[in-house]
């Protein structure tokens, strides 16, 4: 165990602080996603929303997140990773609380769209901050640890819903989302900009360089594979809590809200291990191959998860689908961060991640719409094809500078 954690214990104080800042931002971003997913049923009933409209709420958030992510990526290259990270966390935490004040579908849609602006900006600025602070031989593990915070945030969101919803209702659940604002204040005061960004930033570099040689091909592949993988993720995990809690007579598994929250926490144990394990494998072997294997296994697991009837088998599949169906995001973070130069890293990561997020925004709506005629189990299987498409696109990736450094060390 000492050898496994030595890279972290021997890191500098600054490296640990940036890792903590990015991890907290990503964890609380994830918590918000889970809050919405788990109160979806009560919100539907209170506002008389169809499944398609409920899915469209998340789709609107994703479209807004794409806009916010591209804008914050540009802002991070000009004003700094720390400023972009703290501002994005502040926006999405305040907007989550506003969702608890909504009384109509239009109001909730507006608050979710505002929330998306901050949610989109957090990932690119946090990942760039860590990538520029950590050396290539440990970058995969560091970014995997950041990604693993998503699983912690999901579990935290599930725990909050289990405690708050039965006693205080769905509005109080959203009010709890104001807590990340405190993290934003700490990030702004306690974390320094990376030396690499201060040394290499250049106001003369334009985003247009992402679409010309030598970066154009990398931009296209990263954006396309992320669009496919995000379609799979949002389509699957937006609806998994509803699938588990919905009565069996309506195509669900009839677990109810409290038991669904508990099983979601079990799933996030697998997700956490998937994230972290990816980092060790990727730093030891190939980022690209590890990424593709995760996607292919996820594609195989989705139909089994959707149609298995045994509660024991379903409980076994929950952590496995979390492990492979989410763990591959550690790969995208390190692959994207190493393909682009420092002066454009924030803009590039913001663009390739969030264009993919914008395209994938149709997924929650599509799964909800298909479920109304074919059932939620069959609808979830659409995500299996998206996982396979992402794996196919990823075969076109070229080795990154960081991967080459790991290979020769």
Structural domains of the chain ordered from first start: 14-193+210-408 (1.20.1250.20)
Residue with tokens 């954690």: 5
Sign of CA dihedral 366, 371, 377, 381: negative
Residue 338, pLDDT score: 86
> At residue 205, does pLDDT exceed 90?
no
3-class SS string, 211-264: HCCCCHHHHHHHHHHHHHHHHHHHHHHCCHHHHHHCCHHHCCCCCHHHHHHHHH
pLDDT band, very low/low/confident/very high, at 404 (cuts 50, 70, 90)? very low
Q: Note the pLDDT tens digit of each residue in 82-113.
A: 888 888 888 888 888 899 999 888 898 899 88
Q: Note the pLDDT tens digit of each residue in 127-163.
A: 888 888 888 888 888 988 888 888 788 778 888 888 8
CA of 16: how far to CAs of 58, 95, 129, 134, in Å? 33, 29, 11, 9
In this prediction the pTM is: 0.76
Alpha carbons 275 and 148: distance in angstroms, whole number:
5
Alpha carbons 132 and 21: distance in angstroms, whole number:
14
Q: Note the pLDDT tens digit of each residue in 347-400.
A: 888 888 888 877 887 888 888 888 888 888 888 999 999 999 999 999 998 865
């Amino acid at each position: 165990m000492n050898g496994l954690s030595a890279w972290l214990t021997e890191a500098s104080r600054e490296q640990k602080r940036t890792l903590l800042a990015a991890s907290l931002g990503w964890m609380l971003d994830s918590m918000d996603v889970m809050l919405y997913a788990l109160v979806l049923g009560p919100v539907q009933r209170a506002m008389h929303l169809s499944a398609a409209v409920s899915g469209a709420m998340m789709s609107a958030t994703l479209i807004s997140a794409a806009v916010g992510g591209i804008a914050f990526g540009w802002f991070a290259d000009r004003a700094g990773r720390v400023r972009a990270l703290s501002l994005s966390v502040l926006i999405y935490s305040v907007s989550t609380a506003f969702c608890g004040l909504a009384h109509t579908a239009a109001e909730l849609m507006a608050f979710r769209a505002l929330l998306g602006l901050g949610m989109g900006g957090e990932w690119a600025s946090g990942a760039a901050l860590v990538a520029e602070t950590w050396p290539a031989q440990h970058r995969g593990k560091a970014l995997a640890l950041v990604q693993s915070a998503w699983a912690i945030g999901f579990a935290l969101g599930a725990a909050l819903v289990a405690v708050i919803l039965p006693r205080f209702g769905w509005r109080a659940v959203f009010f709890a989302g104001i807590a990340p604002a405190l993290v934003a204040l700490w990030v702004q005061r306690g974390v320094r900009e990376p030396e690499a960004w201060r040394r290499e930033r250049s106001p003369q570099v334009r985003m247009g360089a992402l679409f010309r040689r030598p970066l154009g091909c990398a931009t296209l592949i990263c954006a396309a594979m992320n669009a496919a993988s995000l379609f799979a993720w949002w389509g699957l995990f937006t609806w998994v809590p509803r699938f588990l809690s919905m009565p069996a007579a309506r195509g669900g598994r009839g677990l109810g809200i409290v038991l669904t929250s508990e099983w979601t926490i079990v799933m996030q144990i697998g997700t956490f291990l998937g994230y972290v394990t990816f980092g060790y494998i990727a730093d030891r072997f190939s980022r690209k191959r590890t990424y593709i294997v995760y996607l292919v296994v996820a594609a195989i697991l989705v139909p089994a998860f959707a149609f298995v009837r045994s509660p024991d088998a379903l409980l076994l599949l929950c952590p496995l689908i979390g492990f492979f169906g989410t763990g591959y995001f550690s790969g995208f973070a390190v692959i994207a961060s190493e393909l682009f130069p420092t002066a454009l890293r924030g803009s590039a990561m913001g663009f390739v991640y969030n264009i993919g997020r914008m395209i994938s925004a149709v997924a929650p709506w599509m799964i909800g719409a298909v479920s109304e005629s074919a059932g939620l189990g069959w609808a979830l299987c659409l995500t299996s094809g998206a996982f396979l498409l992402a794996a196919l696109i990823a075969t076109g990736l070229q080795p990154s500078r960081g991967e080459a450094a790991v290979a020769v060390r």
